[in-house]
Structure 1
């Protein structure tokens, strides 16, 4: 019987398949190729072909599990090889699902620590095709953690950043047999190529001036130069840290948070006209328009004591909320709020809500870091710039 040897560049073939608009027949071929690719990976890992006897063998085959692999071409169901000791892991999925890996690891660690349900255990085994074990976690972390560490500690000297956003969100972590709340600090920047970047993140026990200052100083130590404008909410600790670490940078108070603060102290009854007048202030395109709208609001409310707290609140933060007006008008919608960073937070929250309670801080940092790293890489590949029109990305390319 003739033996047919075919040499294939699997990376090129994989890339070609992933970027193709292919028929169902080609999808079937893709399944065959991917399955063969993973089989070859397992042979290389074991250092022995099927039925081959060799002293260099490191492990033994242990069947397969099925896994759906969803791509732009559709969903493929693949047969993923396993080994007896569980150390083998295919590289096929790693380029596309760093977030999934971290997500699974978080749930696995929760299962191991006995804090999740049978339903979560079942999800874990369906996703990763392995029984839940500490050895599985250790093996997976060896691949994922160094990559996240490199991203987290990378130098920021390659670009200058005109605009930098800061925000915090809260998660629940199990620590010393208690469930506690921890703050997650996230920094996003807009570089000199008009591209967004995730600059850094940190999980901290509390949101305070000291912890914020430490986070900001770490960014400076990694090479972040003085930004032109810093955008955040008005948390006193964060605001004080910004003033100390970025001396001379303008500070933009998030207008969404600020407007909410004012509306919260306004009377709810018979105030719709005044509320509309207030919102008009924050839709201004120039400082002069904002001042005129502010004056109209004051005239509409000035004679009534029930609006005195709202007027006082507006006066205390008006100029901090208008700093975006000093920048080109096309950037205004993106600079007046932390909404772009809020969207990043929602991507984290979507996965964090499934985990519910992180089994430890390392697990939280791993999942959050993986989400942020994938978002960052998507931004790098994206052709669209930071520039925005009203409510939507502009039709303009870098």
Structure 2
């Protein structure tokens, strides 16, 4: 770290202390320190002090200009030194930034955690006594782009993921002056030590085979190997993409979605015992026991015309819903459903309700990606994820 030695104008600092309130004193002290710091930075850049001659001189002094900086105690005005060629830039400012980095990080954290830009501007005004526009807050979030993009494109060949979880949800995005729905694709994984990780994020127009196939191909391009098992709902496009891109990989139908599909085919009244008997099928510990309870369920209710459609759904998707039994028993409760991913979707939805409509697709990718990075710890605490009935 570069160390600079400099002297302060103590008379000026004394006058500020004697004649001002404490807030002004603090501001004056900060201004004095930062102005002197920038002056010494220019000397170091030029490699020559004031009124000195040197063959190693890089440039010439060219006066000063005033520039405002918003910090946590309000706005201050600094005397920024400049050089003739204009290449010198003091480290106090990030290029084109008028807000100190701690405040920038605070604003970004508020946005990522679901605080609207309007509320952020109100909070900053109350804290600093200075107003910032909503567009300014929005522009600051663009600082997340390189961070999120690096995370979204990181290599996936550093370890093997035997189990993948895939799901999509819809958000509202403004596009060509219209509000449209777009699909948010998310894939998470669990390794053999039961540690979970978010592998990828994609935003596309609709949930389709082509979109899922392209997403899975992008994960493979980053080094993802074919897993043993993929857990998802029964979207036809996703199933087809899994078959095409992961040859030899088994597919597990999420039991929570599956049970919901069956219940939706039942009458609304007097079905509590039927639902309890159906759920019993998925509370077993082996394929054989599950098949036994399934056969008993069908035999008990096959003559009831009100339950015919539900039985058809059960028979059609049953084998796909018990594929997790082929894996070691210690993984069963983690692989039966996409509950862990659903919980992640809920976190996204909670923030999305604040925003309501994303201004564009890139802003949606940026915020959701930052949220996934921020909340990746939510899916590594695997003991909290238990199968929901």
Distance 1:124 1:315, change over 3 A: farther
Q: Map 1:54-65 onto structure 2 (within 5 A).
A: 60-62=67-69, 64-65=71-72
Q: How does 1:250-265 map to 2 (within 5 A)?
A: 250-265=250-265
Match of 1:205 in 2: 205
Q: Relative to 1, partners in 2 of residues 1:172 and 1:284: Cα closer, same or farther, differing over 3 Å?
A: same
Distance 1:92 1:133, change over 3 A: closer
Task: Identify if the C-alpha distance between structure 1 residues 174 and 309 changes in structure 2 by more than 3 Å, giving closer, same or farther.
Answer: same
CA contact (8 A) 2:157 2:224 kept: yes
Structure 1 residues 98 and 199, CA, compared in 2 at 3 Å: closer, same or farther?
Answer: farther
Counterpart in 2 of 1:220? 220
Q: 2:98 aligns with which of 87, 90, 101?
A: 87
CA contact (8 A) 1:197 1:379 kept: no
Q: What's the counterpart of residue 296 of structure 1?
A: 296
- Structure 2, unmatched stretches of 5+, are 6-25, 41-49, 51-60, 79-95
The answer on whether the counterparts of 1:161 and 1:191 sit within 8 Å (CA) in structure 2 is: yes
Cα gap change, 1:354 to 1:46, in 2 (>3 Å): farther
- Change in 2 beyond 3 A, CA 1:272/1:178: same
Count of matched residue positions in the alignment of Structure 1 and Structure 2: 327
For residues 270-309 of structure 1, what are the structure 2 equivalents within 5 Å?
A: 270-309=270-309
C-alpha distance in 2 between matches for 1:332 and 1:369: 29
Q: Distance in 1 between matches of 2:375 and 2:36?
A: 31
Residue 64 (structure 1) shift: 4.4
Q: What is the aligned partner in structure 1 of residue 110 from structure 2?
A: 100
Give the distance between the partners of 1:245 and 1:197, measured in 2 at CA. Answer: 20
1:280 CA drift (Å): 0.4
Q: Which position in structure 1 is the counterpart of 2:177?
A: 177
What is the SS of the residue equivalent to 1:319? helix
Shift of 1:292: 1.3
Q: Alpha-carbon deviations, 1:259-308, whole Å to 9, x = none? A: 11111111233332221110101111111110111012112101222221
SS in 1 for 2:162: strand
**Contact 1:325–1:332 (Cα < 8 Å) also in 2:** yes
Residue 88 of structure 1 deviates from its aligned partner by 3.0
Q: Hey, what does 2:334 align to over in structure 1?
A: 334
Computed over aligned residues only, the root mean square deviation of the Cα atoms, in angstroms, reads 3.7
Unaligned runs of 5+ in 1: 6-34, 66-78, 109-117, 393-398
Partner of 1:30: none
Q: CA deviation at 1:360?
A: 0.9
Q: Does the residue aligned with 2:183 lie in a helix, a strand or coil?
A: strand
Higher Cα radius of gyration: 2
Q: 8 Å contact 2:69–2:98 — kept in the other structure?
A: no
For residues 300-379 of structure 1, what are the structure 2 equivalents within 5 Å?
Answer: 300-376=300-376, 378=377
Find the counterpart in structure 2 of residue 146 from structure 1: 146
How far 1:339 sits from its partner (Å)?
A: 0.5
Aligned counterparts of 1:305 and 1:239: Cα–Cα separation in 2 = 31
Change (3 A) 1:185 1:309: same
CA distance in 1, matches of 2:166, 2:139: 33
**1:139 offset after TM fit, Å?**
4.7
Alignment of 1:19-58 (within 5 A): 43=34, 47=38
The Cα of 1:194 is off from its aligned counterpart by 2.9
**Which runs of structure 2 are paired with 1:191-202 in the superposition (5 Å)?**
191-202=191-202
| Structure 1 contact 203–365 (Cα < 8 Å) conserved | yes
- In structure 2, C-alpha distance between the alignment counterparts of 1:44 and 1:241, rounded to whole Å: 60
